[in-house]
Amino acid sequence: MRTPTGSDRLLRRVVRDGGGWTVLLGAVALTGAAAELALPAALGLAVDAAVAGDGGAWWPAAACGLIAVLMLTDILGDVASGYGAARATARLRRRLLRHLFACDVRTVRRHPVGDLVGRLVGQAADAGQAGTAVVLGVVALLPPVGSVVALTLLEPLLGLTLLGGLALLTLLMRAFVTDASAAVAGYQRVLGDIAGRLLEALGGARTIAAAATVDRERDRVLAALPELRGYGLLSWRLLARASARTAAVGPLLQVAVVAVGGYALTVGWLTPGQLVAAVQYAALGAGLGAMLATLNRLVRSRAAASRIAEPLAHPVRPDGTEPLPPGRGELRLRGVGVRADDGRTVLDGIDLTVPAGATLAVVGRSGAGKSTLAAVAGRLHDPDSGEVLLDGVPLRRLAPPALRRAVGHAFDRPVLVGETVHDAIGLGLPATAARPPADAAPATPAVLAAARAAQVADVVARLPEGFRTRLADAPFSGGETQRLGLARAFPAERLLILDDATSSLDTATEHRIARAVATGAGGRTRLVVTHRAATAAAADLVAWLDGGRLRAVAPHRRLWSDPAYRAVFAPGGDAR
């Protein structure tokens, strides 16, 4: 027995996510299929009644009633399939988003952002059609099977004739599903690659323009376009070939049934009305155009589910459940090691203690592991070995709300998240403190205090709508964006991690922000990744990283006597 794959399990879950709408679709489709199978019999009986002249006027009325049922089920089926697919798609997108945010940051970075957006938007919509495709696919089998049964009851030879033709059509359908699945999967994969390259190009648009490499970058983004075109043409070619074959076999099958039915009529095996019914059943059984369309939809859904199942297969980072005990933010790293995806060592056996309320500057040459150290210190991702403790509790064991209240991160190139400037600053605050004020106040007290501490309140005040200005309408410079990122991190209660977060600021502004950080409420612990000697000199301690190892931990003035340490800050030293 074949073991279900991740995409198969995901498809089953998507079908269930359609909920009551999928159930309604199944009921409506079954009713429609039953009416469709009953209609030829009603028409045949109406013809026999008319030929016999026995006054069976209610058979034509029954046929009209069945036609009305078919019209109603078509309408209800469209409504149920639309709502069911929308519900399943929405749940699938939420599931994928939650999973991506719960995964280790390094794991998610293996997928280009554009590719993930394609899976979330395009492939999720295709996979969300699975419930509709499965229900309609199963129900689409009923007319051919029912037609074979009905013709067998009328005349066994008619049933055998239709069954032989359907066996041939089934082989054609199976070949289509196999070939089309590979073509659709390849199309979606290449489309994701192009989307990933496009997003990279848009992110570096200024660099591309400055280097005058627009044409070269366009060619790079669209390099896979011929392959995409090939898969697209192959998909349409396979669908056209399958449609042509079914279109050719279907009429021949009907002709065969009509021929056998005509012979049965001449020898007295069938009545005229039964022949009419037989012709209708032959058309119903051989008309597999709807089945082909449903199979094509199911192929797309399964290929899309396979694409979405890939990131869903990544293990999530387990969350802790413990609250933080009383403390002032002592940070301790014990034997911390981190490896890159290729096995290269990024951090090797880091043992480090930052006293509560102290400022630790992390310095080193490019590639020394500074940003990685900052990331594991606040559990943006977990180390591969060792552990990180905050006030004596391993970060792995802390409940996410407790961890995020205690630790704040600011980056050299922060991404502002939210609808407005107020949303961007209040991202890490509790909902009550981050919610924009309903009155005329410019901002909530917590957001306003954070903006002032980050020296960005005056910048926001000059915007057309102040804190309520949409981010898309706010032309922030690099330094102003950094200050907004700092404001977002400032409400952290115990540990503030600044990963080169003041690199775009002038010296005076950086000094004012450093003073605000040092004198903040509660005397928070600070871990500052920097390439500036002045920032390192202002810190209580300096952690000097060299090749992923902790070379020394001491005050800046003591380390300054070492020429190798001074070289880190030299113009060619690149302490970034």
Residues 305 and 417 both lie in one domain:
no
Residues 302 and 413 both lie in one domain:
no
Q: What is the pLDDT of residues 40-66, one digit of tens each?
A: 888 787 777 777 666 556 777 888 888
Residues 131 and 188 both lie in one domain:
yes
* Interacting residues of 75 by C-beta distance below 8 A, sequence separation 6+: none
519 or 174, higher pLDDT: 174
Neighbours of 188 (CB within 10 A): 22
Cα separation, 166 vs 140, in Å, equals 13
3-state secondary structure of 490: coil
Residues 268 and 417 both lie in one domain:
no
Tell me the torsion sign for CA atoms 240, 241, 246, 249: positive
Which range, of 175-184, 357-366, 505-514, averages the lowest pLDDT?
Answer: 505-514
Q: Is residue 3 part of a domain?
A: no
pTM beyond 0.85: the answer is: no
Indicate which CATH number applies to the domain containing 459: 3.40.50.300
pLDDT at 575: 44
Q: What are phi and psi of 545, to 5 degrees?
A: -95, 140
- Average model confidence (pLDDT) for the chain? 83
Concatenating the DSSP letter of every residue in 345-410 gives: EEEEEEEEEE-TT-EEEEE-STTSSHHHHHHHHTTSS--SEEEEEETTEEGGGB-HHHHHHHEEEE
pLDDT at 393: 93
pLDDT at 496: 92
Cα separation, 405 vs 430, in Å, equals 8
The secondary structure of the chain in percent helix, strand, coil, rounded to multiples of 5, reads 65, 10, 25
Residues 469 and 530 both lie in one domain:
yes
pLDDT at 280: 78
Q: Is residue 266 part of a domain?
A: yes
Pair 201, 319: CB distance under 8 Å: no
Indicate which CATH number applies to the domain containing 231: 1.20.1560.10
Which span out of 86-95, 143-152, 476-485, 562-571 was modeled with the highest average pLDDT?
Answer: 86-95
Q: Could you tell me the two tokens for 371? A: 């940003």
Nearest Cα to Cα of residue 327 among 291, 354, 361, 294: 354
Q: What is the pLDDT of residues 272-282, one digit of tens each?
A: 777 777 877 77
Degrees (nearest 5) of the Cα angle 487, 528, 550? 155
Nearest Cα to Cα of residue 269 among 184, 157, 103, 163: 157
Cα separation, 260 vs 366, in Å, equals 84
**543 DSSP β-pair partners:** 362, 553
Residues 415 and 300 both lie in one domain:
no
- For helices 507-518 and 478-489, the axis angle rounded to 10 degrees is 0
Nearest Cα to Cα of residue 531 among 355, 377, 363, 327: 363
Q: What is the pLDDT of residues 509-548, one digit of tens each?
A: 777 777 666 655 456 899 999 888 888 888 899 999 998 9
Cα separation, 302 vs 285, in Å, equals 26
Neighbours of 357 (CB within 10 A): 16
Q: Which among 246, 277, 312 is the end of a domain?
A: 312
Q: What are phi and psi of 484, to 5 degrees?
A: -65, -40
Q: Is residue 340 part of a domain?
A: no
Residues 279 and 362 both lie in one domain:
no
Pair 452, 479: CB distance under 8 Å: no
Residues 267 and 362 both lie in one domain:
no
Which range, of 188-192, 437-441, 512-516, 531-535, averages the lowest pLDDT?
Answer: 437-441
- Give the number of domains in the chain: 2
**394 DSSP β-pair partners:** 389
Residues 362 and 505 both lie in one domain:
yes
Tell whether the model's pLDDT for residue 287 goes beyond 70: no
- Give Rg (Cα) of the chain: 34
Q: What is the pLDDT of residues 107-136, one digit of tens each?
A: 888 888 888 888 888 888 888 888 888 888
Q: Is residue 233 part of a domain?
A: yes
Q: Could you tell me the two tokens for 181? A: 């699945």
Q: What is the pLDDT of residues 380-422, one digit of tens each?
A: 888 999 999 999 999 999 998 899 889 999 888 888 888 888 8
Residues 272 and 360 both lie in one domain:
no
Tell whether the model's pLDDT for residue 2 goes beyond 50: no
Count helices and strands in the chain by DSSP H and E runs? 25, 10
- For helices 478-489 and 445-453, the axis angle rounded to 10 degrees is 130
Residue-range definition of the domain harbouring residue 294: 8-312
Q: Is residue 322 part of a domain?
A: no
Residues in the chain, how many? 576
Q: How far is CA 480 from the centre of its chain?
A: 31
Average pLDDT over residues 187-207: 80
Cα separation, 469 vs 446, in Å, equals 18
Concatenating the DSSP letter of every residue in 134-153 gives: HHHHHHHTHHHHHHHHHHHH
Q: Which among 312, 347, 375 is the end of a domain?
A: 312
Q: Which among 281, 312, 343 is the end of a domain?
A: 312
Average pLDDT over residues 257-267: 79
Cα separation, 192 vs 194, in Å, equals 5
Q: Is residue 362 part of a domain?
A: yes
Residues 50 and 153 both lie in one domain:
yes
Q: Is residue 210 part of a domain?
A: yes
Pair 43, 51: CB distance under 8 Å: no
246 or 488, higher pLDDT: 488
From residue 231, give the alpha-carbon distance in Å to each of 179, 224, 267: 11, 11, 54
Residues 292 and 362 both lie in one domain:
no
From residue 560, give the alpha-carbon distance in Å to each of 32, 499, 534, 553, 555: 84, 22, 12, 12, 9
Tell whether the model's pLDDT for residue 358 goes beyond 50: yes
Neighbours of 236 (CB within 10 A): 11
* Interacting residues of 229 by C-beta distance below 8 A, sequence separation 6+: none
Tell me the torsion sign for CA atoms 265, 271, 277, 280: positive
Tell whether the model's pLDDT for residue 212 goes beyond 50: yes
Q: What is the pLDDT of residues 465-474, one digit of tens each?
A: 888 888 888 8
**Encoded amino acid at 198, one letter:** L
Q: Is residue 378 part of a domain?
A: no
Cα separation, 419 vs 440, in Å, equals 19
Instruction: Give 202: exposed, middle or buried? Use CB within 10 Å, 0-12, 13-18, 19+.
Output: exposed
Tell whether the model's pLDDT for residue 318 goes beyond 80: yes
Nearest Cα to Cα of residue 483 among 462, 514, 441: 514
Q: What are phi and psi of 4, to 5 degrees?
A: -60, 135
